[in-house]
Amino acid sequence: MRPARACINLKALRHNYHYAKSLAPHSKAAAIIKANAYGHGAVVVARALYDADAFGVACIEEALELRESGITQPIVLLEGVFTPDELPLAARYQFMIAVHNVEQVEWLEQAQLTQPLAIWFKIDTGMHRLGFAPEQVPAFYARLKACANVAAITLMTHFARADEVDCSATEQQIARFKTATQGIQAPVSIANSPATLMWPSTRLDWIRPGIMLYGATPVAEDLPESKALQPVMTLESALISVRELGVGESIGYGARFTCEQPTRVGVVAMGYADGYPRHAVNGTPVAVNGVRTRIIGRVSMDMLTVDLTPLPTAKVGDRVELWGNTVRANEVAAHSQTIAYTLFTGVTRRVPLVYQS
């Protein structure tokens, strides 16, 4: 069997969830498990987080998968419904839905529903992607409040730059949110992972932790708040070939790496078709038998090559960690012009998820 796999540590997941809750002890938490729980497997992750206050997903398909698997907690559709025919389904399964535009308000007003829906009323405080502008809030809030299909309203916004320390843009978004919601009595939710970690004033009625649940930090690795996070996914494989190359010999497509000294090279069963980033540069960290070394040569579809100089006895079959506890996903991301989010969500179905509780 091909040795590539992604081990998912459910203890670490639970630790990270409880860590988020400990930062915001008076808040409820909607654990964000959209995109198949950032590639970790939404149903298993939801079952492991049996004490989560709610879950957040991107669409009704993701929510239905959870309900059909027996998940009973509240589920928020973070972008609401995409078409009006989703509303009766959302009512039947009691999903909470974001409402971010006038079309969604009209659909709600015109729908015939057996039960009213709890909604998350989204305000655009500066991200400029989804939500009502602050000056639209009073009128639309009043319309939704008057709508028979609306049971309860939570107010929400989303930050564009909460991962940046001392960023006035986040302070400005917080201030705009306060102004826009002044006088409205409703629970509020504004904190994603970076805000939960770094902006204590954002830990209000509901936090919405995503990436931090999976143990990657959206902010600096060396912040004390980041250090408490435990990686959940270990992407691993094994050496399938070991060879010695002489000075001047090159490795792989495009001969991107040329040996400047006699080099032991390990070939790993892991490539971009598994979701490992092809953009990873020479020097991207990787661990063989727990010892950190580096990628040399271009990542190909099914294989990549590593420098075994620090591992004179490494042999075929030895374990390779692409990211996990020894090499953090954030480090690989930094060497690949991307972020841990895309690494996790990019792991392909060729890689089996193996759960460890």
Which long-range contacts (C-beta less than 8 Å, at least 24 apart) are formed by 261-264? Answer: 263/296, 263/307, 263/308, 263/309, 264/307, 264/308, 264/309, 264/311, 264/312, 264/314
Q: Which of 82, 33, 26 is nearest to 54 (CA)?
A: 33
Provide the minimum distance between the beta carbon of 269 and ligand PLP in the complex, in angstroms, as a whole number: 30
Is residue 34 flagged as an active site residue? yes
Closer residue to ligand PLP (CB): 181 or 284: 181
Q: Residue 211, interface with ligand PLP (CB under 6 A)?
A: yes
Closer residue to ligand PLP (CB): 163 or 274: 163
Q: Residue 218, interface with ligand PLP (CB under 6 A)?
A: yes
Provide the minimum distance between the beta carbon of 238 and ligand PLP in the complex, in angstroms, as a whole number: 31
Closer residue to ligand PLP (CB): 193 or 336: 193
Q: Which residue has the tokens 């639309």?
A: 140
DSSP 149: T
What DSSP letter does each residue of 206-249 carry, written as one string? EE---GGGGT--SS-TTSHHHHT----EEEEEEEEEEEEE-TT-
Residue 152 CB neighbours (<10 A): 12
- What tokens does 203 get? 């830990």
- What tokens does 138 get? 């009073």
d(CA 80, CA 344): 24
d(CA 305, CA 249): 14
- What tokens does 250 get? 């090159």
Site string for ligand PLP, 175-194 (x = CB under 6 A): -----------------xx-
Say how many residues make up the chain: 357
Total interface residues for ligand PLP by CB under 6 A: 11
The one-letter amino acid at 264: R
d(CA 136, CA 145): 14
The CB-nearest residue to ligand PLP is: 210
Provide the minimum distance between the beta carbon of 154 and ligand PLP in the complex, in angstroms, as a whole number: 12
Sign of the alpha-carbon dihedral angle for 284, 287, 291, 296: negative
Stretch that binds ligand PLP, among 205-213, 223-231, 233-241, 251-259 (CB under 6 A): 205-213
Phi-psi region of 22 (alpha: psi -120 to 50; beta: other; left: phi over 0): alpha
Active-site position among 17, 34, 141, 341:
34
Provide the minimum distance between the beta carbon of 225 and ligand PLP in the complex, in angstroms, as a whole number: 13
Provide the minimum distance between the beta carbon of 6 and ligand PLP in the complex, in angstroms, as a whole number: 18
Is residue 253 flagged as an active site residue? yes
Provide the minimum distance between the beta carbon of 62 and ligand PLP in the complex, in angstroms, as a whole number: 12
Closer residue to ligand PLP (CB): 32 or 180: 32
Active-site position among 50, 145, 178, 253:
253
Contact 99/155 with Cβ under 8 angstroms? Answer: no
User: Which of 41, 126, 131, 209: binder of ligand PLP (CB under 6 A)?
Assistant: 209
- What tokens does 169 get? 């843009």
Stretch that binds ligand PLP, among 101-109, 170-178, 209-217, 329-337 (CB under 6 A): 209-217
In the range 16-55, which residues lie near ligand PLP by CB under 6 A? Answer: 32, 34
d(CA 16, CA 212): 7
Site string for ligand PLP, 110-149 (x = CB under 6 A): ----------------------------------------
Site string for ligand PLP, 78-97 (x = CB under 6 A): x-------------------
Active site residues: 34, 253
Binding stretches for ligand PLP (CB under 6 A): 32, 34, 78, 158, 192-193, 208-211, 218
